[in-house]
């Protein structure tokens, strides 16, 4: 492998991370170009303040990306597509999270496209489990969907396969999943309401059954939303394929 995809990957991640934020609900604190104040102090200025982070040159962030993320995760050794997916996940959730992901998925046993989709599914599941999902989940869902579509496009391009055909297939498949999950979720809600009304909540079984029905409906709706995000992301990439 070579570093030919490195700059494209960094440039893409910057479109997600660019700009200064200091949201009190975000545990990362003051962040600019995706570099948190913790990383700024570790890799740039030991005593960096939020004002320093806000004024951080883009070139500093790019250098940190190259040396402390891309190189540390050895993305040059990854296939095109998976290299970007691993890099973006590491920037967003930490290098250690990518190490765990690779141990779980074993990249050697998956094709680049299969790895991209599996890695993004695992990332989405992890993010959904965070307590800040209710605050940032909408944006995270769209980002992971776009990362997946971008990674698949990169992988298809490197493989010599038809990029347009591959993207169209994924867009169609996810649009179908969105409709199926949405319909099932609505049906679950219709069935659940009268059933829950009749349950005996003086028993543990009553509470368990109600919980299963409610969680099942929520799970279906969540999957419908994520599938819709992926369909939109693939269709967006298809425009320039």
Please state the three-class secondary structure of 166-198 as a single string: HHHHHHHHHHHHHHHHHHHHHHHHHHHHHHHHH
Q: Please tell me the pTM assigned to this model.
A: 0.82
196 and 153, same structural domain?
no
State pLDDT tens for residues 174-185: 888 877 756 654
Instruction: Determine the structural domain holding residue 113 and report its residue range.
Output: 1-161
Last residue of a domain, one of 136, 161, 186: 161
Q: How many domains does the chain have?
A: 2
Q: What share of the chain is helix, strand, coil (3-state, %, to 5)?
A: 75, 0, 20
179 and 92, same structural domain?
no
Please give the Cα distance from 12 to 65 (Å, whole number).
12
Last residue of a domain, one of 161, 177, 211: 161
197 and 148, same structural domain?
no
121 and 55, same structural domain?
yes
State pLDDT tens for residues 152-194: 999 999 998 899 999 999 999 888 887 775 665 444 444 444 4
70 and 40, same structural domain?
yes
Predicted local confidence at residue 202, as pLDDT: 46
173 and 69, same structural domain?
no
225 and 144, same structural domain?
no
Please give the Cα distance from 225 to 174 (Å, whole number).
10
Predicted local confidence at residue 143, as pLDDT: 96
Q: Which two tokens stand for residue 183?
A: 């319909």
């Amino acid at each position: 492998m070579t570093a030919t995809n490195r700059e494209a990957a960094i440039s893409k991640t910057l479109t997600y991370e660019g700009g200064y934020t200091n949201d009190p609900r975000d545990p990362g604190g003051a962040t600019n170009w995706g570099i948190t104040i913790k990383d700024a102090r570790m890799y740039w200025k030991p005593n960096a303040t939020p004002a320093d982070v806000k004024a951080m040159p883009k070139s500093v962030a790019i250098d940190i990306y190259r040396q402390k993320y891309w190189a540390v995760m050895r993305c040059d050794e990854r296939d095109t597509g998976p290299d970007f997916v691993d890099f973006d996940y590491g920037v967003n959730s930490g290098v250690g999270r990518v190490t765990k992901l690779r141990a779980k998925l074993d990249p050697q046993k998956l094709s680049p496209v299969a790895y991209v989709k599996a890695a993004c599914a695992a990332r989405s599941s992890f993010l959904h489990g965070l307590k800040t999902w209710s605050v940032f989940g909408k944006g995270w869902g769209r980002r992971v969907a776009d990362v997946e579509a971008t990674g698949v496009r990169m992988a298809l391009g490197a493989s010599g396969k038809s990029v347009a055909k591959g993207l169209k297939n994924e867009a169609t498949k996810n649009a179908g999943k969105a409709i199926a999950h949405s319909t099932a979720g609505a049906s679950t809600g219709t069935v659940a309401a009268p059933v829950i009304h009749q349950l005996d909540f003086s028993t543990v079984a009553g509470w368990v059954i109600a919980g299963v029905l409610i969680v099942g409906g929520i799970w279906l709706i969540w999957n419908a939303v994520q599938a819709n995000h992926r369909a939109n992301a693939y269709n967006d990439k298809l425009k320039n394929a």
